[in-house]
Amino acid sequence: MLLDDDKDYTIEDVINMLKNIDGDNLIKTEHFISQHNERIPELDIINDFILKKEVVGIIKQDRAKFKLIYEINERYDLIVIIGIKSENPNKISLITCFKQSSKRRVRRDEKS
C-alpha cells in the first residue's frame, strides 16, 4: 500500500516499522548521502544503528516525518530524520543525519 497522504502516523507506527524493516527498504536521499559523507562518514547508520540498535527517542515532526535519536556513546547521539514512504512493504526515506551532544537528550539532576 502506498502512503496515504491523509494518514497521521504515530510514534508506535514508527517503532513497529523499524522492528520489521529490511535494509533494502531504507531509501537514502541525495541530501542524506551528502550529509552522511560530510558529517559522520565513520558511522554505518543503516547497519549499525537503524537495523541493530534500539532507538532512544522519537520526535514526531509531521504526519509522516520523524526524528530518530540513537545513542552513539556517552557524549554523542546520532540524529536521523526519516519520512515514511509506504506500508506493506515498509519503506522509509532517510532524509538527513547528524551528531548531537547527548546533553540535549539527557537531563542530569543538578544535585548529582
pLDDT tens digits, 3-45? 556 789 999 999 999 998 999 999 999 999 999 999 999 999 9
Does pLDDT of 110 surpass 70?
Answer: no
- pTM recorded for the entire structure: 0.89
Say if residues 95 and 29 touch (Cβ distance below 8 Å): yes
Select the more confidently predicted residue: 108 or 10.
Answer: 10
Confidence (pLDDT) at 108: 65
Angstrom distance (rounded) from CA 109 to CA 84: 36
Say if residues 79 and 67 touch (Cβ distance below 8 Å): yes
**What is the mean pLDDT of the segment spanning 31-60?**
96
Q: How confident is the model at residue 1 (pLDDT cuts 50, 70, 90)?
A: very low
